[in-house]
Amino acid sequence: MVQKLDTLVETPSQTAGPYVHIGCIPSFAGLEGVYPEDLGLRAIEDGAEGEVITITGSIYDGTGWAMRDAMFESWQADASGRFAGQQGADPKVNGFCRFAADKDTGEFTLTTVKPGATPTRAGGQQAPHIALWIVARGINIGLQTRIYFEDEDNSADPLLARIEQRNRVETLVAKKTGEGQYRFDIYLQGAQETVFLDL
Amino acid sequence: MSDQAYIDQGPLIPRNRAAHPVPYDPDYKTSVPRSPNQPLLSMESTLSEETGPRFGHSMLGPLDNNLILNYSKDAAKPAVGERILMHGRVLDEMGRPVPHTLVEIWQANAGGRYRHVKDGYLAPLDPNFGGCGRTLTDENGCYEFLTIRPGAYPWPNRGNDWRPMHIHISVFGHSFGQRLITQMYFEGDPLIERCPIAATVKSRSQLDRLVAPLDMAKARPLDFLAYKFDIVLRGRRQTMFENRMEGL
Ligand SMILES: [Fe+2]
């Protein structure tokens, strides 16, 4: 026998289910009047520094169906690479946003500022990116992924460098479709399966 | 280029995936097309996972954690159902309390019906029950909700599947990598053993951690019963060898 470790084990996840909206974004789901407004309604306030961008996309299940019930949370740095709560961070950047797939089309939209590069523990840089967390019915533990940008220099990003199949790097890179407009589609399965993260 | 210095509070402890449900489980049919086939890319956490949104008391209303009254907002119009106190502590893997973190819950009413545009179950809506609540943990990581015990409900999966009574819970922690959504079940519910969603957690001892015991120490006579539900979030590795000083 050995001494017993006193570290605890994380509580297991369970699916957020089909009604996640009433807990997290109740007004979106027709449950009005409990809170003044849904949490995480805006990633930025008016006057945030940097380029305001809109990212549009869908999340597809293994059959190619754009899921109508997924909910997303994003977390990101401001235009100079500072996260909300850090010294000098832009007070107009909340950094956090909650949004959902449209219940008729499955499309989601995130309006925010393009984040700056952020430092790494090893003294390097991470390319500008937005962390994304995805929950839905049928997803038993929230999926982590990232949105990078095709018009940024992603060549030295340590996470992208870890992807062995270089063709899969593209799954994390939003495509520019216009001035300040990007497209980011997520595939849960198949040849285009998005790289999901465990960090 | 970023001019930011790295603020190192220690990396998150890597997630033990065996403590969690399996992503793919044929008995939970929707998980079949919605579970990634490729392995996850594992790496040490970065600032994007080690920082996270913080929420303050200013956003909370006085009834936010009282689901019996937060929809009607009228003490004379309480929600129908068995009155319960749901309470517990949020800790991290090192056993430290997680103070001032947002806990959100949502649930069906006493008949098993959600107030959601997509729920068309036979059981009626309760005009005095919304079904969501939120609170911040105190300095010791403790939280409380006053609510009603939700009803079990049927759902389209196998021929005759019913969800055990459950409350959905969302917790933030202090870093985005700690984010967790789970469900609380109730001691003694025979539907837990029959539920394909509960059964996605393959470790018996881990599934037991989702079942809240009746807690008579917190029950108020002639008013409400209590159930205790503690939650453990990921912790951080903190050793004296984490921060390498310059020149070393
Ligand atoms: Fe549910």
pLDDT one-digit tens code per residue, A110-159: 999 999 999 999 999 999 999 999 999 999 999 999 999 999 999 999 99
pLDDT for residue B6 is more than 80: no
pLDDT for residue B9 is more than 90: no
Query: b/e string for A12-32 if b means 16 or more Cβ within 10 A?
Result: bbbbbbbbbbbbbbbbbbebe
Q: How far is A5 from chain B (nearest CA, A)?
A: 10
Q: What is the mean pLDDT of residues A45-62?
A: 98
Residue B151's CB is within 10 A of a number of other CB atoms, namely 18
Residues B208 and B210: their CA atoms lie apart, in Å, by 5
User: Which burial class, exposed, middle or buried, applies to A91 when counting CB atoms under 10 A from its CB (0-12, 13-18, 19+)?
Assistant: exposed
A96 contact B CB<8A: yes
Q: How far is B246 from chain A (nearest CA, A)?
A: 12
Cα(A168) to centroid(ligand 1), Å: 35
Domain assignment of residue A76, yes or no: yes
Q: What is the structure's pLDDT at B238?
A: 81
Domain assignment of residue A10, yes or no: no
Domain assignment of residue A24, yes or no: no
Q: Do A135 and B181 touch (CB under 8 A)?
A: yes
Domain assignment of residue A115, yes or no: yes
Contacts of B66 in chain A (CB under 8 A): none
Question: What are B52-96's pLDDT values in tens digits?
Answer: 999 999 999 999 999 999 999 999 999 999 999 999 999 999 999
| Radius of gyration over every alpha carbon of chain A, rounded to an integer in angstroms | 18
Q: What is the structure's pLDDT at B221?
A: 98
pLDDT for residue B247 is more than 70: no
Q: What is the structure's pLDDT at B102?
A: 98
Catalytic residue among B87, B113, B149, B163: B163
Q: Hey, what are A151's tokens? A: 């018009």
Q: Which residue of A has its CA nearest to B32?
A: A138
Q: Do B116 and A30 touch (CB under 8 A)?
A: yes
pTM: 0.96
Domain assignment of residue A28, yes or no: no
Q: Is B114 a catalytic residue?
A: yes
CA distance readout (Å), B73 to B12, B61, B227: 41, 11, 24
Domain assignment of residue A88, yes or no: yes
Using an 8 Å Cβ cutoff, are B152 and B77 in contact?
no
Using an 8 Å Cβ cutoff, are A187 and A193 in contact?
yes
Residues B60 and B76: their CA atoms lie apart, in Å, by 22
**How many A/B residue pairs have CB atoms within 8 Å?**
291
Could you tell me which of A127, A124, A179, A183 has the C-alpha nearest to residue A155?
A127
At B104, is the pLDDT very low, low, confident or very high (cuts 50, 70, 90)? very high
Q: Residue A87 sits in a domain of what CATH number?
A: 2.60.130.10
Catalytic residue among B153, B174, B185, B236: B153
First to last CA, chain B: 26
Cα(A177) to centroid(ligand 1), Å: 38
Q: What is the structure's pLDDT at B1?
A: 44
Domain of residue A69 covers 37-187
Domain assignment of residue A12, yes or no: no
Catalytic residue among B168, B179, B209, B237: B168
Cα(B173) to centroid(ligand 1), Å: 22
Residue with the bigger pLDDT between B144 and B246: it is B144
For chain A, what is the mean pLDDT?
97
Contacts of B206 in chain A (CB under 8 A): 9, 12
Q: How far is A94 from chain B (nearest CA, A)?
A: 8
- Residue identified by tokens 């509580």 is A11
CB contacts under 8 A, A 176-195 vs B, are 188-190, 193-195
Q: Is B166 a catalytic residue?
A: yes
In three state form, how does the secondary structure of chain B look? CCCCCCCCCCCECCCCHHHCCCCCCCCCCCHHHHCCCCCCEECCCCHHHHCCCCCCHHHCCCCCCECCCCCCCCCCCCCCCCEEEEEEEEEECCCCECCCCEEEEECCCCCCCCCCCCCCCCCCCCCCCCCEEEEECCCCCEEEEEEECCCCEEECCCCCEEECCEEEEEECCCCHHHCEEEEEEECCCCCHHHCCCHHHCCCHHHHHCCEECECCCCCECCCEEEEECCEEECCECCCCCCCCCCCC
Domain assignment of residue A31, yes or no: no
Q: Which residue of B has its CA nearest to A59?
A: B34
Residues B20 and B38: their CA atoms lie apart, in Å, by 17
Q: Which residue of A has its CA nearest to B183?
A: A14
What's the number of domains chain A is made of? 1
- DSSP character for A88? T
Q: What is the structure's pLDDT at B244?
A: 53
Using an 8 Å Cβ cutoff, are A159 and B41 in contact?
yes
Q: Catalogue all structural domains in chain B, each as residue range(s) with its CATH number.
A: 3-245 (2.60.130.10)
Q: Is B6 a catalytic residue?
A: no
At B242, is the pLDDT very low, low, confident or very high (cuts 50, 70, 90)? low
| Sign, CA torsion B239/B240/B241/B242 | positive
